[in-house]
Amino acid sequence: MNRRKFVADSVAAFATASSILPSSFSDAPSASGLGRMLTLDAKPTPISVDTAKTAVLVVDMQNDFGSKGGMFDRAGIDISVIQRAVAPTARVLAAARKAGIKIVYLKMALQPDLSDMGLRDSPNWRVHQQIMRVGTTVRAPNGAESRILVRDTWNTDIVNELKPEGADTVIYKNRFSGFYQTELDTKLKGLGARYLIFTGCTTSVCVESTIRDAMFRDYSPVLLADCTGEPVGYGLPRSNHEATLLLIQIMLGWVSSSEEFIKALESPTPV
C-alpha cells in the first residue's frame, strides 16, 4: 500500500471511530460546578473537555533548552524553534489561569551528584554526560555560577517569560517522560485532571515521551503544535516535529493550537 494513502486512511479511520464513540465516553460537567464544557477544534476530531478536569503541562521550558547560554545553546544546537514557542505558550498560560485551569511544570533536572542519571553505560548517561556535559560548572548570563542540567540552578530555571506562579505545580524529572519515577500521575489524579493540554520542548523527545505515558494511563492528551519545538531534524524535508504531530493525531491523542485553545476558553457560552 502507498505510504501516503496508508496515513490518510489511518487518519480517516481514527476520525470516524472518534465520531461514533458513545456519549458516555465524554465526561459530564464537573459536579463541583466550577468547570464548564468546551469544544476544542483539533485533529483528528474536535474534543470536548471539562475545564475542571483539565491541566496545562509545560514540559522543560527551561534555560538549558531555550535560553542563550543554556545547555543546547552551548552545544551549538539551534534553539530558535524552542524560542518561537515561548510567546504562544505565555498566552495559553494567561488564558488558562484566567479560566482557573491548573498548570503543571515539568523540569528536566538532576541531583548535584548526578546519582539519578542512571548507569554509566546507559543511553541516558551517554547522552547527558558524554554529549551534553551535564553537571559541568558554567557561568550563567547573569554572572552567577551554575551547572548544566542540575537542580536549583539558573540552567534549570524556567525561562523568564513563562515563570511559574504560586498556585502552579513544579515537578522535577530525570528522564524524558514526566511520568517516570515522579509524582506526576499522583498529582494529576489529585487535581482531578483527565484532559492534559501539552506545551513545551522538545516535541519528539520529552513532550512525545510524556504524551505516550499519559495515553497509557488513559489521560486524554492534546498537544498545542505552536507551543512546542524540536531542533532534531529541523530543516529536513520531513522533520521530527511533524512526525510527532502526525503520530499523536493518529495514535496518541489530539493536536490543536494556542489560538484554538484560547478561542475555546473565550467562547461566551459552553459548546
Measured CA to CA, the distance from residue 139 to residue 151 in angstroms comes to: 15
Q: Annotated catalytic, 201?
A: no
CB 221 within 8 A of CB 43: no
Instruction: Put residue 152 in one of left, alpha, beta given phi > 0 → left and psi -120 to 50 → alpha.
Output: left
What DSSP designation does 146 have? E
Find how far residue 7's CA is from the centre of its chain. Answer: 24
Q: Annotated catalytic, 98?
A: no
Q: Annotated catalytic, 206?
A: yes
Amino acid at 23: S
User: 67: which 3 cell numbers?
Assistant: 535560553
Q: How many residues does the chain have?
A: 271
Measured CA to CA, the distance from residue 92 to residue 37 in angstroms comes to: 18
Measured CA to CA, the distance from residue 190 to residue 206 in angstroms comes to: 23
Question: H or E segment at 106?
Answer: strand 102-108
- Select which of 201, 206, 213, 227 is catalytic: 206
- Select which of 173, 201, 213, 226 is catalytic: 173
Measured CA to CA, the distance from residue 73 to residue 121 in angstroms comes to: 26
Residues 6 or more apart in contact with residue 120 via CB below 8 angstroms: none
Active site residues: 60, 173, 206
